[in-house]
Amino acid sequence: MANLIAPKLSVNVNKIATLRNARGGNNPNVLTVALDCEKFGAEGITVHPRPDERHIRRTDVFDLSKHVTTEFNIEGYPSEDFLELIKAVQPHQVTLVPDPPHVLTSNAGWDTKTHLQELKSIVARIKAESSARVSIFLDPTPELTGYAAETGTDRIELYTESYAVEFLQSPEKAIGRYIETAEAAIAHGLGINAGHDLDLNNLSYLAANLPGLLEVSIGHALVSDALYHGLFNTVQLYRAALRKHILYP
């Protein structure tokens, strides 16, 4: 078994904010849903605010920061506004994502070799201005893990879109580069997170086979599944998927 301890589940509530914003008002209430996710067993809450506030708003970030009692993880591109928000909010974890403001969703990891000096400066600033753990979004590229470690980051978050796509044809092939990257990251002293397009079909295999996996961040699939199963049942299903290889070896 790759992992003897189940990875933690952090629920990304961006899609809840998208639904609220589509109609105006405050229904569904992002804070209420986040606190319910915690109550139902989620071990963290993730948000990814963007400059146009098309889903999560700055006010959401501040509201959540006052009430989330598990791990509060803020993802985003490290603009000056984002870094000032981190300083003000003091989350438990900051995940740095290299997506410019116009993209629909995160679609690539950092080239830590090309952006080494920039990331060093950003990570140092975050650590100087907060007590947050820092994670860097990374493609499954083993050779980039050494540069990631040089930035001073605590963890990497593996971008799992290609895993999710290839999983449908061959789970073993899909996870190959992820295992290599995780092993390289561990050798450099980094923790492993993962996120993007993870769902109830592919999550258990990832949790069982990816070395050192500590945490997954899941939003779109979990919220979509909640439409059918209800939020309580869905959080339980995702937690069970992360523990399946431990509960039923």
pLDDT in the model for residue 35: 98
Quote the CA–CA distance of 202 and 210 in Å, as a whole number. Answer: 12
- Tens digit of each residue's pLDDT (9 = 90 or more) over 128-185: 999 999 999 999 999 999 999 999 999 999 999 999 999 999 999 999 999 999 999 9
Catalytic residue among 38, 71, 75, 215: 75
Is 249 buried (19+), middle (13-18) or exposed (0-12) by CB count in 10 A? exposed
**Burial call 208-226: b when 16+ CB within 10 Å, e when fewer:** bbbbbbbbbbbbbbbbebb
75 noted as active-site residue: yes
Catalytic residue among 48, 71, 157, 215: 48
Cis peptide before 28 (omega within 30 of 0): yes
Catalytic residue among 71, 196, 215, 245: 196
- The pairing of strands 71-76 and 133-138 is unpaired
Positive or negative, the CA dihedral 6, 45, 12, 85 is negative
Phi–psi pair at 87, nearest 5 degrees: -60, -40
DSSP 188: T
**82 touches 76 (CB < 8 A):** yes
Phi–psi pair at 108, nearest 5 degrees: -170, 155
Is 232 buried (19+), middle (13-18) or exposed (0-12) by CB count in 10 A? middle
pLDDT in the model for residue 102: 59
Nearest to 245 by CA among 203, 183, 186: 203
In the block, residue with structure tokens 């740095």: 96
Q: How far is CA 146 from CA 65, 88, 248, in A?
A: 32, 31, 35
196 noted as active-site residue: yes
Regions in the chain scoring below 70 on pLDDT: 1-3, 100-107, 247-249
**178 touches 198 (CB < 8 A):** no
- Name the CA radius of gyration of the chain, rounded: 17
**178 touches 163 (CB < 8 A):** yes
- The pairing of strands 8-12 and 44-47 is parallel
pTM of the prediction? 0.94
pLDDT in the model for residue 48: 97
Quote the CA–CA distance of 71 and 53 in Å, as a whole number. Answer: 22
